[in-house]
Amino acid sequence: MRPVRPYKPRGCAYRLAGWLRIVLLLGLAVEAPQAAQGQDYSVGFTEIPPSGNTPKDTPPILVWYPSTDKPTQSQLGPYKVNWAQEGRIAPGTHPVVVFAHGVNGRARRHRWTGEALAKAGFIMVAPWHRHDRRIINDVTRVEVRMRELAEALEGLATNPMLGDSADFSRLGGLGFSFGVVPLLGAHGITLDLTTARAHCKQNADLDPHFCNYGNFIVRFLRRWDSDREVIVPPLLQPIDSLALIMPVAQAYRYSDFAKQTTPLLLVRGGADTVLPYPFHAESIHQAWTTPHDYEVFASAHHNAFISPIPAWYADQEEIGSAANDPDGFNRPVFLQEANQRIVKHFNNTLKAEK
């Protein structure tokens, strides 16, 4: 054992150098966990083009991923972004989060969420669900969306730049609004039209967006309770962790929730009048009997989870409520907090030791 030397006072310069070394070491100690969690990644982005014989019927797949390349200013449609577009993916393998957006939305409207997950070391893959306005033959929109989720994961798996880096054994599911319905359907939760009918018979006046908006039940769940066979391709892997943001909830067989052991983050907006309390997020919270995280953002309205939309574009496209906030509500602040909460959930459930 090396003997302990007696303390000898040092000169001022020596002490200063020592303090500088301590500060440097402390800085490295702080930075090391951040690097391990992917906080230093830039945002990589690519769009996997439509495939198949009828590409117009196959939506593009948007992918955000951790990159080591330097970001540059560019455009994503009407949005200015600072990403490493087509950049090299960070070394190693990364958990995958499949994202499903809301009715008549677009995956690119959730670019801030994709950014947050990419910076934290996740790959977020999101199809643009383009068939919300029509029914194809006898197939409901829910089935179309479920197929698109499966196709998005297949597209990522076979992508020459990203496929080998995608760890599908750590698969998260992130759904917003109506996007939760096909996501839970793909996860094995039974979709049940009788639940929706019973709910709207009793609560149509209290839940008008769900019960009356564009004849919601007919448009999205039509004939789900018929005897016809529903063929939906399975996801590449079972979903290991779920985050449901302001979810549609009156479309399921609720007894299925009681059997769930999948880690769950459930987010409700306290000012959500589109899917109001207590009919949607609260219903899932009550039915999901295993412990889960239930986060209520008191001032958040339904569309607050959509990344900011420039006013000129909102006016040009007549986007309406998705772009608007009530007086005093700060969407960027809310989104930063909500996205951090989502990242924390997936860090704890997809990156923790199994």
- CATH code of 42's domain: 3.40.50.1820
Q: Is residue 16 part of a domain?
A: no
- Which residues lie across from 191 on neighbouring strands? 252
Q: Is the per-residue pLDDT at 135 higher than 50?
A: no
- Which residues lie across from 269 on neighbouring strands? 297
Biggest CA pair distance of the chain: 88
Sorting pLDDT into bands at 50, 70 and 90, what band is 4?
very low
Q: Is the per-residue pLDDT at 320 higher than 60?
A: yes
Q: Is residue 1 part of a domain?
A: no
Q: Is the per-residue pLDDT at 230 higher than 60?
A: no
- Which residues lie across from 124 on neighbouring strands? 64, 97
Q: Is residue 228 part of a domain?
A: yes
Q: Is residue 2 part of a domain?
A: no
Nearest to 85 by CA among 103, 70, 100: 70
Sorting pLDDT into bands at 50, 70 and 90, what band is 222?
low
What was the pLDDT predicted at 117?
Answer: 98
Residue that wins the pLDDT comparison between 226 and 231? 231
Q: Is residue 141 part of a domain?
A: yes
Q: How far apart are CA 204 and CA 285, in angstroms?
A: 21
Q: Give the pairing type, strands 79-85 and 72-76.
A: antiparallel
Residue that wins the pLDDT comparison between 336 and 140? 336
Here the tokens at position 235 are 């996801």
Residue 46: phi and psi, rounded to 5, are -150, 160
Domain tally for the chain? 1
Here the tokens at position 51 are 């495939």
Mean pLDDT of 233-261: 91
Q: Is residue 26 part of a domain?
A: no
Q: How far apart are CA 177 and CA 276, in angstroms?
A: 12
Q: How far apart are CA 110 and CA 101, in angstroms?
A: 8
Q: Is the per-residue pLDDT at 208 higher than 50?
A: yes
Q: Is residue 81 part of a domain?
A: yes
Q: Which residues contact 321 (CB under 8 A, 6 or more apart)?
A: 303
Give the residue numbers spanning the domain of 278: 33-350
Interaxial angle between packed helices 331-350 and 111-119, expressed in degrees from 0 to 180 and rounded to the nearest 10: 40
What was the pLDDT predicted at 54?
Answer: 52
Here the tokens at position 135 are 């029914």
Here the tokens at position 204 are 């149509």
- H or E segment to which residue 113 belongs: helix 111-119
Report in angstroms the alpha-carbon separations of 7 from 2, 10, 20, 85: 15, 9, 20, 56
Query: Could you report the per-residue pLDDT of 90-111, keeping only the tens digit for each?
Result: 999 999 999 999 887 888 999 9
Neighbours of 270 (CB within 10 A): 11
Sorting pLDDT into bands at 50, 70 and 90, what band is 192?
confident
Q: Is residue 21 part of a domain?
A: no
